[in-house]
Structure 1
Amino acid sequence: MTNQLLTTSRTLATAVRVGASSALGAALLVGCSSEAASTNCGLDQCTVTFNRGVEGNVNVIGVDARFIGANGDHVTIEVAGERLSLTVDQAAEVAGLSVSVASVTDTQVAVRIARPN
């Protein structure tokens, strides 16, 4: 009887941990809001696609990001209150996050914001 009770307790504890992890993951994925931008988020990173010609903003992974402008492949964005000027594949660290420009086209700019590995 003791072994059965112990096994049931372990199973219940595992189920609670899995449920809590799933709820946290869902909260992080849903925790995005944007204006004039689209987001594609996972647990540790988001790719934000801003429309050029519009000052879009987004809140992902707990920080605000704002597209200011682009001149050729040179992109100016603001992340967590810090203004960055980056080119494609160049990265910077802001508020403990890695910020990089994934791509630049005539109509859109994609920025990756990620937690460090």
Structure 2
Amino acid sequence: MRYRRLIALSVLAVLVPLGATACTAEGPGSKTECQVSGCTITFDRGVDAKASVLGMDAELVAVNGSTATLRVAGQEVSVPVGETQPADGTSVTVQEITTDTVVVRIATGLQGN
């Protein structure tokens, strides 16, 4: 019985910090998943898609072929799929563009994806 309690407490100690470091939210035309390292936003195409992450607003402005144009904290940036561009102290990476969605990773600092 004592070992079960110790195991249960150990599992709880590991899971509680993980739950506190990740969150998911949905906004107009977007779904956001955040962790300590940054946020992944799935924007719906063809709508006024916006999200608020890391204390700033992010908006899908346009898609031209394999390049997405986004407005991050008021700064417009065009990013080809698989590449990273800086925007207002963050790094913006376009991970995927489909006919329905654009998946973008916004991270603090200027690290890559």
TM-score normalised by the chain length of structure 1: 0.70
Q: Aligned pair in 2 of structure 1 residues 83, 29: CA closer, same or farther (>3 Å)?
A: same
Q: Partner residue of 2:94?
A: 101
Residue 32 of structure 1 contacts residue 60 of structure 1 at CA under 8 Å; is this kept in 2? Answer: no
Structure 2 counterparts to residues 61-72 of structure 1, below 5 A:
61-72=54-65
For 1:33 and 1:103, locate their aligned partners in 2 and report how far apart those are by CA, in whole Å.
Answer: 19
Give the one of 29, 32, 40 matched to 1:36: 29
Residue 23 of structure 2 contacts residue 33 of structure 2 at CA under 8 Å; is this kept in 1? Answer: no
RMSD: 2.2
Residue 53 of structure 1 contacts residue 69 of structure 1 at CA under 8 Å; is this kept in 2? Answer: no
Q: Can you give the 5+ residue segments of structure 2 that lack an aligned partner in the other structure?
A: 1-16
Residue 23 of structure 2 contacts residue 35 of structure 2 at CA under 8 Å; is this kept in 1? Answer: no
Give the one of 102, 108, 112 matched to 2:105: 112
Whichever structure has more helix as a proportion of its residues is 1
> 1:54 Cα deviation (Å)?
1.1
Off by >6 Å, runs of 4+ in structure 1: none
> 1:95 Cα deviation (Å)?
1.9
Deviation digits for residues 70-94 of structure 1, max 9, x if unmatched? 1221111100100011110121112
Deviation digits for residues 9-59 of structure 1, max 9, x if unmatched? xxxxxxxxxxxxx6xx84x75596621100111112111000111121111
Whichever structure has more strand as a proportion of its residues is 2
Q: Partner residue of 1:85?
A: 78
User: SS of 1:54's equivalent?
Assistant: coil
Q: Partner residue of 2:49?
A: 56
Residue 31 of structure 1 contacts residue 60 of structure 1 at CA under 8 Å; is this kept in 2? Answer: no
For 2:97 and 2:52, locate their aligned partners in 1 and report how far apart those are by CA, in whole Å.
Answer: 20
State the AA in 1 paired with 2:50.
N
